[in-house]
């Protein structure tokens, strides 16, 4: 058995015993299917020069468009990445990237809509993070000090817990 497999098994055993129960996915079958929407954001901060490269395009292609596609892929892959996240019936998603070359920032905002028994918050958050990571992947060629900050839920609607808007 290789070391990585042994570490994985030990981590799984520790997680299961830490809560004194077995991990499980919460039952949502009795909940009503309703319209859900969630919006999340984060910000990539880099140098103005690196930001200009991302906007203009690089030898890799168009980083802004690649990040938009990566974010959409993040929406669809969220339940594959997060063990307690239910697959949901996504009805639409938008990934908006707002570069500010003078400030050296790119704001990533993702809105996900679904008709399901559980919300779309995790899909929106995951998509924003994945889009920003896609930008970082290209930015690191120009600025190793680039960073991603402020990943947060901006708003959600639908479901039993009602609406939420960040301050």
Exactly one of 100, 116, 137, 167 is catalytic; name it: 137
pLDDT of residue 7: 53
**C-beta of residue 127 within 8 angstroms of C-beta of residue 153:** no
- The DSSP 8-state label assigned to residue 58 in this structure reads B
Q: Is residue 139 part of a domain?
A: yes
Closest to 54 measured CA to CA, from 137, 167, 139: 139
Q: Which range marks the domain in which residue 94 is found?
A: 32-165
Q: Is residue 123 part of a domain?
A: yes
pLDDT of residue 24: 77
CATH code, domain carrying 131? 3.30.70.640
Q: Is residue 22 part of a domain?
A: no
Q: Is residue 87 part of a domain?
A: yes
Quick: pLDDT tens for 74-101.
999 999 999 999 999 999 999 999 999 9
Continuous H helices in 57-154 = 63-81, 121-139
Q: Is 11 helix (H, G, I), strand (E, B) or coil?
A: helix
Active site residue 137: yes
Q: Which two tokens stand for residue 101?
A: 């070359």
CA distances from 51 to 44, 66, 69, 104, 111 (A): 9, 15, 18, 5, 23
Q: Is residue 152 part of a domain?
A: yes
Q: Is residue 129 part of a domain?
A: yes
Continuous H helices in 39-120 = 48-56, 63-81
Percent of the chain past pLDDT 70, that is, above it, reads 88
The whole-model pTM stands at 0.85
Q: Is residue 7 part of a domain?
A: no
Q: How many folded domains does the chain comprise?
A: 1
Quick: pLDDT tens for 109-166.
999 999 999 989 999 999 999 999 999 999 999 999 999 999 999 999 998 888 999 9
């Amino acid at each position: 058995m290789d070391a990585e497999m042994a570490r994985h098994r030990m981590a799984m055993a520790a997680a299961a015993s830490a809560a004194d129960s077995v991990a499980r996915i919460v039952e949502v079958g009795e909940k009503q299917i309703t319209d859900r929407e969630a919006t999340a954001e984060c910000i990539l901060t880099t140098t103005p020069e690196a930001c200009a490269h991302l906007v203009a395009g690089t030898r890799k292609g168009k980083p802004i468009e690649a990040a938009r596609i990566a974010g959409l892929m993040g929406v669809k892959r969220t339940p594959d990445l997060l063990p307690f996240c239910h697959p949901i019936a996504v009805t639409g998603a938008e990934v908006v990237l707002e570069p500010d070359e003078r400030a050296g920032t790119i704001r990533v905002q993702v809105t996900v809509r679904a008709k399901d028994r559980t919300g779309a918050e995790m899909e929106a958050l995951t998509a924003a993070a994945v889009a920003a990571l896609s930008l970082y992947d290209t930015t690191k060629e120009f600025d190793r000090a680039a960073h991603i900050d402020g990943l947060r839920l901006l708003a959600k609607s639908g479901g039993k817990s009602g609406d939420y808007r960040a301050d």
